[in-house]
Amino acid sequence: MQNLKDYLHVAPEVQAALDAGKPVVALESTIISHGMPYPKNVETALHVEEIIREHGATPATIAIIRGKMTVGCTREEIEYLGRRGLDVPKASRRDLPVLLARGEDGATTVTTTMIAASLAGVRVFATGGIGGVHRGAETTMDISADLEELAMTPVLVVCAGCKSILDIGLTLEYLETKGVPVLGYQTSEMPAFYTTHSGFQVDYRMDSPEDVARAFKAKLDCDLKGGMLLTNPIPQQYAMDLDYINENIDAALKECEALGIRGKKITPFLLDKIQKLTGGKSLEANIQLVYNNVAVGAEVAKALCALNR
């Protein structure tokens, strides 16, 4: 891939860590520009990087900056992405070629963060929640590109499961079809983002970062293609009441439908609506679960590096 450097910029600190075989954790930018309001989004993104450093790994926040997939955004770039918010285009796989060719900016979703991480050689990525099969997808066909990316790109994604804005059961069926292992971190139940409870089982319970790293290494060693999903439940003290959050999710879904919102706008609309309906309580839970995920991500990245030594 001779011309790749025209489109990919890896920050010197991140490249140095990779060259030295040290742990790096990728982070997405749609959560900054489209997932949380300013200035909480910037505060959270910067604190997330600190947590990763405290755990002895190097953070790599990923975004498209002036036509380059940037692996390791600067503090100024994070501030810019957060301040511009929804004006930064949400960039999924289908958006990537045009944004790169035009030299534009883009907030990377789970999909494009996995693509850029993989091109740079970063194997572990931590975030809040992934996209999935939407409720009613049997008629709308609204299935996030995140699931296809997990099927083809070799990155381990740490998340808190998926929100019940999605059909969790169908999301798990889709991942099974695509051969994506769904692991639970110290749990056998798939977490549902704001709650530890979803009523669905994960494929395998993992008890330690080493356990996860060994399974992911086996996948890479056998060139099985695609990623893995490690679901990590929100810490109990920050978990929300199941009925309360589900009522608000249902209200947000009804409003989305009534307003006729379509396509890539659906997920950001629902996230924002839920935050407004819960008076910021869900935002606090969201922030805390991200902190928890990046800490686990850093530990898994360390364990993976130790195996490759």
Residues that bind ligand PSU (CB under 6 A): 28, 30-31, 35, 109-111, 128-131, 144-146, 163, 264, 267, 271
Shortest distance in whole angstroms from residue 129 CB to ligand PSU = 3
Catalytic: which of 68, 90, 163, 264?
163
Inter-residue contact 63 to 72 (CB < 8 Å): no
Nearer to Mn ion among residue 142 and residue 167 (C-beta): 142
Asked about 163 being catalytic, the answer comes back as: yes
DSSP state letters, 144-172:
-HHHHHHHHS--EEEE-B--TTB-HHHHH
Q: Which of 77, 95, 142, 146 binds Mn ion (CB under 5 A)?
A: 142
Judged by beta carbon distances under 5 to 8 A according to partner kind, the member of ligand PSU, Mn ion, none in contact with residue 196 is none
CB count within 10 Å of CB 241 equals 11
Considering only the C-alpha atoms of the chain, give the largest distance between any 2 of them, rounded to a whole number of Å: 55
Shortest distance in whole angstroms from residue 132 CB to ligand PSU = 7
Inter-residue contact 155 to 124 (CB < 8 Å): yes
Asked about 50 being catalytic, the answer comes back as: no
Nearer to ligand PSU among residue 137 and residue 204 (C-beta): 137
Interacting stretch for Mn ion, rule CB under 5 A, among 9-17, 78-86, 142-150, 227-235? Answer: 142-150
Q: How many residues bind Mn ion (CB under 5 A)?
A: 1
Shortest distance in whole angstroms from residue 131 CB to Mn ion = 7
What counts of helices (H) and strands (E) characterise the chain?
A: 13, 11
Binding of residue 28 to Mn ion (CB under 5 A):
no
Nearer to Mn ion among residue 51 and residue 229 (C-beta): 229
How many angstroms separate the CA atoms of 127 and 31, rounded? 8
CB count within 10 Å of CB 84 equals 14
Inter-residue contact 168 to 162 (CB < 8 Å): yes
How many angstroms separate the CA atoms of 35 and 126, rounded? 15
Judged by beta carbon distances under 5 to 8 A according to partner kind, the member of ligand PSU, Mn ion, none in contact with residue 45 is none
Cα distances (angstroms) measured from residue 49 to each of 11, 14, 65, 109, 218: 14, 12, 19, 18, 28
Interacting stretch for Mn ion, rule CB under 5 A, among 48-56, 138-146, 218-226, 236-244? Answer: 138-146
Nearer to ligand PSU among residue 13 and residue 242 (C-beta): 242
Q: Which residues bind Mn ion (CB under 5 A)?
A: 142
Q: Which positions are annotated as active-site residues?
A: 28, 163
